[in-house]
Amino acid sequence: MLKIGVFGCGAIGGEICKAIDNGQIEAELYAIYDRHNESLDRVKSSLENFDPQIMEIVDMVREVDLVVECASQQAVYEVVPAALHAKCDVMVVSVGAFVDTQLLGMAENIAREKNCRIYVPSGAICGIDGLISASAAALHSVTLTTEKPPGGLRGAPYVLENNIDIDSITGRTVLFEGSATEAVQSFPANVNVAATLSLAGIGFDNTRVRIVLNPALTRNVHEITVEGEFGRFTSRVENVPSPTNPKTSYLAPLSVISTLKKLTQSFNVGT
Ligand SMILES: NC(=O)C1=CN([C@@H]2O[C@H](COP(=O)(O)OP(=O)(O)OC[C@H]3O[C@@H](n4cnc5c(N)ncnc54)[C@H](OP(=O)(O)O)[C@@H]3O)[C@@H](O)[C@H]2O)C=CC1
Ligand SMILES: O=C([O-])CC(=O)C(=O)O
């Protein structure tokens, strides 16, 4: 049975652990880690069938077959090289870290050398399957409009650096327009989806991103438009936010769970 380690036990990590524990994913939850003991305790007490060991990443990668990073962009720098050097596969959720071309190149090189896999789930967006299919021919443009209520954007570096008082904004307001490169650096915990789109499509510099604050919303909305030789598609998802982290949509952990299920199933549907 696939031995999994989960690095980061917040909104996403907690759901993944539960899905392994209740048998939705046929794997062993071998190890977990988080920098907060309360998060580790919360996850452990939610489990009925597994009693994972708490392990720092250096020890975790020696024991498991796959590490799931669901912590932060900063954690990707620690988790991905450690896993790959130890010949351990890795699934990355804080995908925005891959805007760093040195990190991305290094990860690809080590993975090739060690014959390991790096998995990036679709996360909180719909349409990655179509974009990947379309990318087999020429792509002309990829754009993402992310629209969130204040809780989904509060605390982002861009908001803090520009002294934007998001709680005083009463109407729908475009906060940011630019490349995915700038977007994932300015909103590292809000638009990792822009990085996933960039990696699947035409790269970080060519993927256009608009971030909109909408106090009237209760959901996190991501709308994607792709144009290319195949034609044109638009996908729109109205995501229920996670109860413990309003920045994170519930679809994100579901996407990780489904990607993990794919690894353990013999029959797989979708691009
Ligand atoms: N690809 C996608 O579509 C999506 C990606 N994400 C990203 O996924 C990641 C996880 O999201 P979510 O579960 O909601 O986040 P949470 O904040 O709920 O949980 C993450 C946990 O990991 C901890 N953590 C962060 N960095 C480290 C580290 N270096 N070492 C140890 N523990 C660490 C956090 O601590 P602390 O609070 O102190 O940082 C927190 O306890 C985030 O980076 C988020 O931006 C989210 C939604 C969609
Ligand atoms: O969960 C979402 O809606 C998107 C998100 O936070 C991210 O991509 O970082």
Q: Which residue range(s) make up the domain with 163?
A: 128-247
Q: Which CATH number covers residue 243?
A: 3.30.360.10
**Are 216 and 237 part of one and the same domain?**
yes
List pocket residues of ligand 2, CB cut-off 6 Å.
Answer: 123-124, 189-193, 220, 239, 247-249, 252
Span from the CA of 247 to the centroid of ligand 2 (angstroms): 6
* Same domain, yes or no: 108 and 16: yes
Closest-lying ligand to the alpha carbon of 15?
Answer: 1
Residue 50 pLDDT > 90: yes
Atom index in ligand 1 nearest the CA of residue 121 equals 1
Which CATH number covers residue 46?
Answer: 3.40.50.720
Mean pLDDT of 227-247: 95
Same domain, 82 and 116: yes
Residues of the chain with pLDDT > 70, as a percent, come to: 100
Interval 240-245 mean pLDDT: 92
Rounded mean pLDDT, 170-197: 96
pLDDT exceeds 90 at position 156: yes
124 is in an annotated binding site: yes
**Local confidence band at 269 (pLDDT 50, 70, 90 cut-offs):** confident
Judgement on whether residues 133 and 80 belong to the same structural domain of the protein: no
Which residues, 6+ apart, have CB-to-CB distance to 109 below 8 Å? Answer: none
Q: Which atom of ligand 2 is nearest to the CA of 194?
A: 8
Contact 28, 58 (CB under 8 A): no
* Ligand 1 centre distance from Cα of residue 94 (Å): 7
pLDDT above 70: residue 201: yes
Residue indicated by tokens 């035409």: 202
Residue 268: band (very low, low, confident or very high) from pLDDT cuts 50, 70, 90: confident
Q: What is the DSSP string of the chain?
A: -EEEEEE--SHHHHHHHHHHHTTSS-EEEEEEE-S-HHHHHHHHHH-SS--PEE--HHHHHHH-SEEEE-S-HHHHHHHHHHHHHTT-EEEES-GGGGGSHHHHHHHHHHHHHHT--EE---TT-S-HHHHHHHTTS-EEEEEEEEEE-GGGTTT-HHHHHTT--GGG--S-EEEEEEEHHHHHHHSTTT-HHHHHHHHHTT-TTT-EEEEEE-TT-SSEEEEEEEEETTEEEEEEEEEPBPSS-TTSBTHHHHHHHHHHHHHH-S-----
Distances (CA, A) of 234 to 10, 125, 126, 208, 244: 31, 12, 10, 14, 30
Å from CA of 172 to ligand 2 middle: 19
Q: Are both 16 and 117 inside the same structural domain?
A: yes
State mean pLDDT over 171-185: 97
| Predicted complex ipTM | 0.98
Instruction: List residues near ligand 1 (CB under 6 A).
Output: 8, 10-13, 34-36, 39, 70-75, 78, 93-95, 123-124, 189, 192-193, 196, 245, 248, 252
For residue 271, tell me if it sits in a domain: no
Q: Do 7 and 111 reside in the same domain of the chain?
A: yes
Ligand 1 atom index nearest CA of 12: 13
Q: Is the pLDDT of residue 208 over 80?
A: yes
268 is in an annotated binding site: no
Length of the chain: 271
Domain count, the chain: 2
Residues 134 and 119 in one domain: no
Give the model's confidence band at 266: pLDDT under 50 very low, under 70 low, under 90 confident, else very high. Answer: confident
> Does residue 240 form part of some domain?
yes
Same domain membership, residue 92 and residue 182: no
Asked if residue 269 belongs to a domain, the reply is no
Q: How far is the CA of 37 from the centre of ligand 1 (A)?
A: 15
Region 227-242: what's the mean pLDDT?
Answer: 97
Q: Are 157 and 203 in the same domain? A: yes
Identify the residue whose C-alpha is closest to ligand 2 atom 3. Answer: 249
Ligand 2 atom nearest to CA at 239: 3
**C-alpha span between 11 and 130 (Å, rounded):** 27
Q: What percentage of the chain has pLDDT greater than the value 90?
A: 96
208 & 150 share domain: yes
* Average pLDDT of the residues in 108-116: 97
Report the pLDDT value the prediction gives residue 271, as an integer from 0 to 100. 62
pLDDT at 73 exceeding the cut of 70: yes
pLDDT category, 183, cuts 50, 70, 90?
very high
Are residues 15 and 115 located together in one domain of the fold? yes
- Active-site positions read 222
Residues 81 and 144 in one domain: no
pLDDT digits 0-9 by tens, 17-43: 999 999 999 999 999 999 999 999 999
